[in-house]
């Protein structure tokens, strides 16, 4: 859910920027910047000479090929030169925008005339493979995470920018408008050399403490951010970058980028996944007194998720990696990303470990990959690390971060002067189109309309996607709701809705009040939640929906393959206390009084007398304890969890007693577990397991009913081809598996691989039973039980689990998903259940936007 909304937002953002681009203004400087690269492999050319022929104006590119040349007068030409390359002179149309300068090697002319025959790659007797294998044998002794303890400090800078701005600036210049603020704010992308304008910059200093068994505690000392254009919500950018561009450690066999698992060039199975070539030996690299072997690498199969690049391996017994530079392959299956480059520098530390000194990730994206004039996004994450210490010591507390900020920075952080972006920022924030775009994007993402400001509204109106819906009981249904925000109070919150069904002609409503024991900045739902909430609701729903966490009653859910006619009205008053700890553990205590009444064609009848039951009442007490070791990010009213491979576990107990305002006594226990497993290079596997048991005799509305998805749209944690209340159990276990192969199979099929489709399969199973104690068909004279619905089966009669499986495709036109579902068991007509008509096949549709 998070990835879908975040990516949808990014695409909406890009479309908004198209309309906005022509409205920016600013003032001119004679500054020229860009990057010098090799025309044959797009690698940077460090320390290239940049000068104006016949003058004293000149400079030298840095170690990454980037340069900035300043002049008191406008320049007409600039010349670029480096040993082994042909000099190149370019004409300057205007200041600032130089871009990517591609130098041609001296021998390029001969190379393009004579084509070398393709050389068959051999792993046997390949000195590069032998070198890499020796390095892999040493990898554990190189990785500092295998130490008992280490500590370092990290400075992180995240930048988001807008690319393809050249034409925009030229059009403004042609209309005689001042573009100096735009040009003075531009920078050059290390991924492609394109010129971009920064939109958002975030800086952070943190202490990293490793305490053994690869446990790293990250303590943020301070952070600061600068938003230039308000259409970028800071929390949205932080959420996206935290999950899509996590810290990269090449010592891992695989690492996650853009929600995709990539195989590291030094994975233990790297020699089977990559091709390696020794291309050079570098003597006394950077005057460090050590020689290095340059090893180029590329995926053995072009369809693999991997990188092409090179690394410098120490030419001694340490086999340490000094530097690595890698890019996405040209035919990468990643959506919306035209280029991505990663380069890292290491240094030898104590105990033989080689620790990270600097890491940079730069990437460019565009929703319309082939449309170069459409504005795209540039994202960059730079990390600088202080020398790693392996002796335990007390970390000194920082008292005055603001005054000590510069002194806290690790060595090597460039002391760049802040660009003149004040004018650009002021103009962007005053632009009506940008404010409207921000408002619209937030509303669509969050499902609520903010009132009273964007960052801290005092009211949220919605949910907008539930304003109109339909079902068999109510017919057309309209709903209007609202929740207060932190702009009104940071501790007291209220919310509610009113809904009306035109068929049953009943008004439904809900109201709630919540008090937070801590101040909230953005939303009452933000982590950690420490609050007490009281609510009252009168509404209707299918009885089985109480066992699903998916939102019901929205417009898309109204399109169903089966239109259920068994509903119930309920009145529920509830008091809940929730407390979340920083370590991922949380608990919830609640007291709930519920009155339920059958509606539509559903009837509650006593089992023996067949008398109608007007309603029944329960007051249950519940305790839920969960362990969810994830990082949360808040965007509006919606809380997102960053995808990781830690297990999520929850245990819920609920019970009621006839002595305390309840018609029945029961005890219910339920356990949930879900986890994602990386199966790189063949995608990932999501596992969801759930089980429960009711320990006393109760009528069937208080038993477990599997959650069903009766719509034509995809859902989660529910069965697709199971009818409403088809199986009723007092004990059960359900399993859901979903394996996304990320195109691993389809990318190997000629022609089909051009479509960049991605495949997945899923399997869902329910195994349960209804004990004789709770089975009215076994106990026809038991008046305490209710008659089961005519279409309800008892799974224990056959002792066979319910199963269904599906296969599907997503990334259809980059946004669509289709899934074909097949029911495996309980297919035939059963004379014991004449009203049960199983549906063997189904098709489901949805949207899934991912990288």
Q: Which two tokens stand for residue 707?
A: 């959650």
Which of residues 68, 91, 113 is at a domain's end? 113
Supply the DSSP symbol for 245: B
Which of residues 86, 113, 140 is at a domain's end? 113
**Short-list 838, 844, 837, 768, CA closest to 806:** 844
In a domain, 639, yes or no: yes
At residue 35, the pLDDT reads 87
**Paired strand residues for 197:** 162
Q: SS3 for 821?
A: strand
Distance CA 33, CA 113 (A): 33
In a domain, 523, yes or no: no
Consecutive H or E run containing 587: strand 585-600
In a domain, 379, yes or no: no
Owning domain of residue 764: 539-847
Contact status, residue 151 vs residue 396, Cβ threshold 8 Å: no
Q: What is the CATH number of the domain that holds 60?
A: 2.60.40.1120
Distance CA 540, CA 396 (A): 58
Contact status, residue 438 vs residue 455, Cβ threshold 8 Å: no
Q: Which two tokens stand for residue 454?
A: 């964007």
- Rounded to two decimals, the pTM is 0.76
At residue 556, the pLDDT reads 59
Contact status, residue 819 vs residue 847, Cβ threshold 8 Å: no
Look at the chain and report how many structural domains it folds into: 2
Q: Which two tokens stand for residue 66?
A: 């980037």
Handedness of CA 680, 682, 686, 687 (dihedral sign): negative
In a domain, 239, yes or no: no
* Averaged pLDDT in 10-residue chunks for the chain of 851 residues: 50 49 44 83 79 75 78 80 83 70 69 46 87 91 87 86 72 71 70 74 82 62 59 59 74 83 89 89 85 90 81 91 88 79 89 90 74 68 88 64 68 60 58 69 80 85 89 92 94 96 95 97 90 97 69 59 84 97 94 95 91 94 92 72 79 95 95 90 91 95 90 85 90 96 87 89 95 92 90 80 95 90 87 72 87 77
**Short-list 410, 414, 353, 359, CA closest to 387:** 410
Strands (E), 601-662: 616-627, 632-635, 638-641, 648-656
At residue 818, the pLDDT reads 95
Distance CA 146, CA 124 (A): 31
Q: What phi and psi values does residue 812 have, to the nearest 5 degrees?
A: -75, 115
At residue 428, the pLDDT reads 60
Which of residues 56, 78, 113 is at a domain's end? 113
In a domain, 361, yes or no: no
Strands (E), 164-240: 187-188, 195-210, 216-227
In a domain, 502, yes or no: no
Q: From residue 362, give the alpha-carbon distance in Å to each of 66, 67, 247, 447.
A: 14, 17, 13, 32
Distance CA 735, CA 720 (A): 14
Contact status, residue 147 vs residue 390, Cβ threshold 8 Å: yes
Residue count of the chain: 851
In a domain, 103, yes or no: yes
Q: What is the CATH number of the domain that holds 694?
A: 2.40.160
In a domain, 223, yes or no: no
């Amino acid at each position: 859910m998070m990835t879908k909304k975040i990516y949808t937002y990014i695409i909406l953002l890009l479309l908004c920027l198209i309309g906005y681009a022509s409205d920016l203004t600013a003032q001119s400087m004679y500054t020229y910047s860009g990057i010098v690269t090799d025309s044959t492999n797009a690698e940077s050319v460090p320390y290239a000479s940049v000068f104006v022929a016949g003058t004293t104006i000149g400079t030298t590119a840095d170690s990454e090929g980037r340069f900035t040349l300043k002049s008191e007068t406008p320049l007409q030409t600039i010349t670029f030169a480096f040993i082994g390359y042909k000099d190149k002179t370019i004409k300057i149309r205007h200041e600032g925008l130089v871009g990517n300068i591609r130098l041609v090697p001296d021998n390029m002319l001969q190379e393009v005339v004579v084509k070398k025959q393709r050389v068959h790659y051999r792993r046997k007797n390949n000195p590069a493979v032998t070198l890499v294998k020796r390095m892999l044998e040493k990898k554990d002794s190189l990785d500092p995470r295998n130490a008992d303890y280490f500590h370092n400090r990290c400075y992180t800078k995240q930048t988001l920018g807008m690319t393809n701005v050249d034409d925009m600036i030229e059009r403004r210049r042609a209309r005689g408008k001042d573009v100096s603020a735009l040009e003075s704010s531009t920078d050059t992308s290390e991924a492609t050399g394109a010129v971009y304008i920064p939109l958002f910059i975030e800086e952070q200093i943190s202490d990293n403490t490793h305490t053994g068994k690869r446990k790293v505690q990250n303590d943020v000392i301070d952070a600061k951010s600068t938003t230039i254009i308000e259409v970028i919500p800071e929390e949205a950018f932080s959420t996206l970058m935290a999950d899509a561009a996590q810290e990269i450690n090449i010592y891992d066999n695989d690492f996650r980028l853009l929600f995709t698992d990539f195989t590291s060039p030094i994975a233990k199975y790297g020699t089977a996944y990559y091709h390696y070539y020794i291309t050079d030996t570098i003597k006394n690299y950077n005057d460090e007194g050590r020689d290095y072997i340059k090893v180029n690498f590329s995926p053995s199969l072009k369809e693999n998720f991997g990188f092409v690049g090179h690394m410098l391996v120490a030419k001694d017994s340490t086999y340490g990696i000094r530097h690595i530079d890698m890019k996405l392959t040209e035919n990468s299956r990643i959506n919306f990303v035209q280029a991505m480059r990663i380069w890292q520098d290491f240094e030898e530390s104590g105990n033989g470990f080689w620790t990270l000194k600097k890491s940079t990730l730069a990437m460019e994206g565009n929703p319309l990959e082939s449309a170069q004039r459409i504005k795209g996004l540039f994202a960059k994450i730079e990390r600088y690390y202080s020398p790693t210490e392996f002796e335990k010591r007390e970390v000194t507390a920082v008292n005055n971060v603001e005054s000590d900020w510069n002194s806290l920075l690790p060595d090597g952080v460039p002391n760049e002067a802040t660009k003149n972006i004040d004018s650009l920022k002021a103009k962007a924030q005053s632009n009506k189109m940008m404010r409207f775009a921000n408002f619209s994007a937030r509303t669509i993402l969050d499902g609520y309309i903010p009132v009273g400001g964007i960052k801290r509204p005092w009211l949220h109106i919605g949910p907008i996607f539930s304003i109109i819906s339909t079902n068999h009981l109510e017919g057309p249904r309209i709903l209007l709701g609202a929740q207060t925000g932190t702009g009104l109070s940071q501790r007291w919150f209220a919310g509610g809705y009113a809904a009306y069904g035109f068929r049953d002609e009943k008004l439904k409503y809900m109201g709630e009040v919540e008090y937070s024991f801590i101040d909230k900045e953005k939303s009452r739902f933000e982590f950690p939640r420490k609050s007490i909430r009281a609510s009252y609701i009168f509404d209707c729903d299918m009885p089985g929906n109480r066992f699903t966490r998916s939102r019901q009653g929205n417009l898309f859910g109204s399109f169903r393959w089966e239109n259920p006619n068994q509903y119930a009205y309920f009145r529920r008053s509830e008091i809940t206390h929730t407390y979340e700890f920083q370590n991922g553990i949380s608990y919830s205590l609640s007291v709930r009084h519920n009155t339920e009444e059958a509606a539509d064609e559903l009837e509650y009848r006593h089992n023996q007398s067949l008398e109608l039951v007007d309603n029944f009442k329960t007051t249950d007490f519940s305790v839920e304890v969960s362990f969810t070791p994830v990082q949360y990010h808040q965007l509006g009213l919606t809380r997102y969890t960053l995808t990781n491979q830690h297990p999520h576990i929850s245990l819920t107990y609920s019970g009621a007693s006839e002595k305390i305002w309840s018609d029945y006594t029961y005890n219910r226990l339920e356990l949930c577990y879900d986890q994602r497993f990386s199966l790189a290079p063949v995608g990932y596997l999501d596992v969801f397991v759930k089980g429960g048991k009711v320990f006393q005799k109760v009528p069937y509305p208080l038993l477990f009913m599997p959650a069903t998805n009766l719509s034509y749209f995809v859902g989660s944690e529910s069965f697709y081809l199971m009818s409403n209340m088809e199986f009723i159990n007092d004990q059960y276990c359900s399993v859901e598996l979903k394996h996304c192969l990320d195109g691993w199979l389809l990318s190997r099929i000629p022609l089909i691989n051009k479509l960049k489709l991605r495949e997945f399969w899923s399997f869902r199973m329910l195994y349960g039973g209804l004990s004789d104690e709770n089975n009215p068909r076994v106990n026809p004279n038991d008046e305490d039980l209710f008659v089961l619905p005519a279409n309800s089966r008892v799974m224990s009669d056959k002792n066979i689990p319910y199963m269904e499986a599906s296969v599907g495709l997503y990334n259809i036109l980059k946004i669509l998903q289709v899934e074909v579902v097949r029911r495996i068991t309980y297919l035939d007509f059963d004379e014991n259940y004449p009203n049960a008509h199983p549906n063997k096949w189904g098709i489901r549709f949805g949207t899934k936007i991912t990288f």
